[in-house]
Amino acid sequence: MSREVLRIGNASGFYGDRFEAMREMLTGGPLDVLTGDYLAELTMLILGRDRLRDSALGYAKTYLRQLEECLGIARERGVKLVSNAGGLAPAALAEEIRELAERLGLDVRVAHVEGDDLLGRGGWGEGVLTANAYLGGEGIAACLRAGADVVVTGRVTDAALVSGAAAAHFGWGPEDHDRLAGAVVAGHILECGTQATGGNYAFFGELAPREGGFGLLRRPGFPLAEIHEDGTSVITKHPGTGGRVDAGTVTAQLLYETAGARYAGPDVTARLDTVRLTEEGPDRVRVAGVRGEAPPPTLKVGLNRLGGHRNEVVFVLTGLDIEAKAEFVKAQMAEAFVKSPPAEVRWELVRTDRPDAPTQETASALLRLVVRDPDQSVVGRPLSAAAVELALASYPGFHLTAPPAKGTPYGVFEAAYTGQETVAHFAVLPDGSRHQVGVPARTLALEEVAEPALPPLPAGLRETRRAPLGLLAGARSGDKGGSANIGVWVREEAAWAWLAATLTVPKLRELLPECAELPVTRHVLPNLRALNFTVEGLLGEGVASQARFDPQAKGLGEWLRARHLDIPVRLLPS
């Protein structure tokens, strides 16, 4: 392993990502460390329910199956493996890996990080299944410094998988804020796997061959970062793999699930407004200039609890009088709720129908009914029976997309905060000894960064044309608890001056009426020619509550790009 550059790859962006990615990354080219991100807010709830059924569970079982194929390859090539697949049971997963290595006849030193699980502390409220602090990378670094070949963690920040490995390799200390911040930014770019190499990319059509088909974009390769001692990095991928790495794909991932200029973590707060991207060649983007600050004094704690039960029925409305048909069936279903009304009843009419449609499907709209209640019996059989009983007694053409089911439990995510000094963060080293990770010597309370001066509008922009924003701007959106973020960026300076002046909070609310009554914050990132909006409360109580058609706000940015506004003709593509 070269001391001058550390090559860190990623083989998983979520629990359920491409199974073969670990083998692809280990065999596709040089690598020093291979990370895997398996945890999301929803995943922690899934693991919590696993643990309810069997106390021995609580980790990402996929990771163990991947290691059955790949642990020998990693050892042969000298690649360290670092992942958060331990979930709620990092010690149990570490022991499973030791047993696996013994069966395979491999000499593997396994370590794990623990201390994030705060459920036993209590005081989190009723129904809480998981309570986990987001730890930093220092526990990972301690394990690697002690000679670990495999490190598994519970809930750490996604970027900590990379920053911890880099800190161990280069000998960075807790006060090396700029270096740590550079690695945190690299870690954030890698954490979602192929989203950095062309996956889910707004301008995906530009990456596809003009003659048709999608070529190498069909199976984008996973990303890697070449990290240097000063904290700078180059984002790239293995030669010959699909997708593309360029300033656009990296910018899109930088904006994903972030908010303002300060990107806070347990070890360091990275200043996203200092990030500079430079294309150094095909599939090579340098990330430099990142400044770091002392971390905040608190750690985020992710809480998952069962919120109750929900049920859903989707009515199909075909042809004429769509709105009248919808009101008719809503009135009929209201009768079913008289005796035992659910705590929440939501109707949504989705107008997928077209006039004079050439197919029945395109002549049809969908009317979605969602009910919630703490009591499963309220949202179960009464609702299902009421919907089915209308089959011959409602609007003409009555049918459903699927038979109604019994009510199912849903989860609620909530973020809490606790002082860094209240969490006992331990690295359990390969020899079984326990190393307690200290708290940062300096902390800095988070404050919003004032909006920087905006560039002046260039001349020649008076002539406009009504057009979709997406002809000019890319976007990527995602979820953080009940809030959503929308990152929007452009690629030219003139377009940036126009975007910064035009896409204000009132304009965003106008373009996305679902956000009109919600708190919206705009963050300006001039180096990236980007705006990042946080919309509070759009997702209700988080993805597991399924409060919205798109519960993770994955398509929110694409909806914004599809909205029309007056765009200067000079800026539009010819």
- 323-355: pLDDT as tens digits: 999 999 999 999 888 888 999 999 999 999 999
Binned at pLDDT 50, 70 and 90, residue 211 comes out as very low
pLDDT at 389: 93
With vertex at residue 564, the alpha carbon angle to CA 558 and CA 570, rounded to the nearest 5 degrees, is: 105
Query: Per-residue pLDDT tens for 115-141?
Result: 999 999 989 988 899 999 999 999 999
**Tokens 């039960």 belong to residue:** 309
Query: Per-residue pLDDT tens for 242-270?
Result: 999 999 999 999 999 998 999 999 999 99
- What's the mean pLDDT in 228-239? 98
- What's the mean pLDDT in 349-376? 95
463 and 274 Cβ atoms separated by less than 8 Å:
no
Q: How many Cα atoms are found within 13 Å in the side-chain-facing hemisphere of 504?
A: 5
Choose among 42, 59, 55: nearest CA to 93.
59
Binned at pLDDT 50, 70 and 90, residue 212 comes out as low
Asked if pLDDT for residue 10 goes beyond 50, the answer is yes
**Tokens 């002082």 belong to residue:** 419
Query: Per-residue pLDDT tens for 81-117?
Result: 999 999 999 999 999 999 999 999 999 999 999 999 9
pLDDT at 207: 80
Binned at pLDDT 50, 70 and 90, residue 52 comes out as confident
pLDDT at 213: 65
Q: Is 282 exposed, middle or buried (0-12, 13-18, 19+ CB in 10 A)?
A: exposed
Query: Per-residue pLDDT tens for 521-551?
Result: 999 999 999 999 999 999 988 877 777 888 8
At position 478, the amino acid (one-letter code) is: G
Determine the Cα–Cα distance for residues 464 and 571; give it in Å rounded to an integer: 9
Give the rounded percent of residues in the chain with a pLDDT score beyond 70.
99
Give the rounded percent of residues in the chain with a pLDDT score beyond 90.
85
Give strand pairing partners of 309. Answer: 373, 409
Query: Per-residue pLDDT tens for 376-433?
Result: 889 988 888 899 999 999 999 999 999 888 888 888 999 999 999 999 999 999 999 9
Residue 529 CA to its chain's centroid (Å) = 22
Q: Which residues contact 517 (CB under 8 A, 6 or more apart)?
A: none
Determine the Cα–Cα distance for residues 31 and 33; give it in Å rounded to an integer: 6
With vertex at residue 241, the alpha carbon angle to CA 472 and CA 38, rounded to the nearest 5 degrees, is: 85
pLDDT at 218: 85
Determine the Cα–Cα distance for residues 392 and 516; give it in Å rounded to an integer: 40
pLDDT at 209: 63
Q: Residue 274 has which token pair?
A: 């200092």
For residue 362, give the H/E element and its range: none
Give strand pairing partners of 466. Answer: 566
Q: Residue 89 has which token pair?
A: 């049971």
In whole numbers, what is the pLDDT of the chain averaged over residues? 94
465 and 574 Cβ atoms separated by less than 8 Å:
no
* pTM for this entry: 0.94
Give strand pairing partners of 278. Answer: 286
Query: Per-residue pLDDT tens for 448-497?
Result: 899 999 999 999 999 999 999 999 999 999 998 899 999 999 999 999 99
Residue 49 neighbours by CB distance under 10 Å = 17
- Domains of the chain from N-terminus onward: 307-411 (3.30.70), 464-571 (no CATH)
pLDDT at 547: 73
Q: Which residues contact 178 (CB under 8 A, 6 or more apart)?
A: 230, 231, 290, 291, 292
